[in-house]
């Protein structure tokens, strides 16, 4: 199984496989039909306090954010449920709304899932 990340604003593709929105808040300007989701795993997203703090933080603190988010994921039943769901699909695409395609919570989640056997 492969795990990819993609902005929810990008057009869906057949190659996306199982599409999971991993934002806690619904992205602005996207209808449920346009998103073409298979699942909305909002509880696997960063906690509201961590999300708010990261939103207002300097981008240079991404490593600190990632470490704290990984700690949350380790203890988060929704993240473990997503790991199980991912194991049932050949390809999973984690969708996110952030503008930065490299440094965002979906990238951290993708790596966390990969380290636990979801590739």
Q: What is the pLDDT of residues 27-67, one digit of tens each?
A: 999 999 999 999 999 999 999 999 888 765 667 788 999 99
**Order of strands, edge to edge, in the sheet holding 39-40?**
2-7, 91-96, 18-21, 39-40
Pair 6, 41: CB distance under 8 Å: no
At 19, is the secondary structure helix, strand, or coil? strand
Pair 83, 118: CB distance under 8 Å: yes
The single residue listed with the structure tokens 């929704």 is 78
- Would you kindly state where each structural domain of the chain is located, as residue ranges? 2-115
Q: How far apart are CA 60 and CA 31, in angstroms?
A: 33
pLDDT of res. 118: 61
pTM: 0.92
């Amino acid at each position: 199984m492969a795990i990819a990340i993609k902005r929810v604003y990008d057009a869906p593709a057949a190659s996306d496989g199982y599409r999971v929105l991993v934002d806690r808040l619904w992205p602005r300007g996207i209808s449920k039909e346009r998103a073409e989701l298979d699942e909305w795993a909002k509880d696997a997203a960063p906690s509201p306090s961590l999300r708010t703090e990261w939103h207002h933080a300097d981008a240079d603190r991404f490593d600190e954010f990632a470490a704290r988010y990984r700690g949350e994921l380790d203890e988060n039943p929704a993240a473990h449920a997503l790991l199980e769901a991912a194991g049932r699909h050949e390809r999973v695409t984690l969708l996110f709304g952030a503008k930065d395609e490299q440094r965002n919570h979906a990238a951290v989640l993708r790596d966390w899932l990969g380290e636990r056997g979801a590739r």
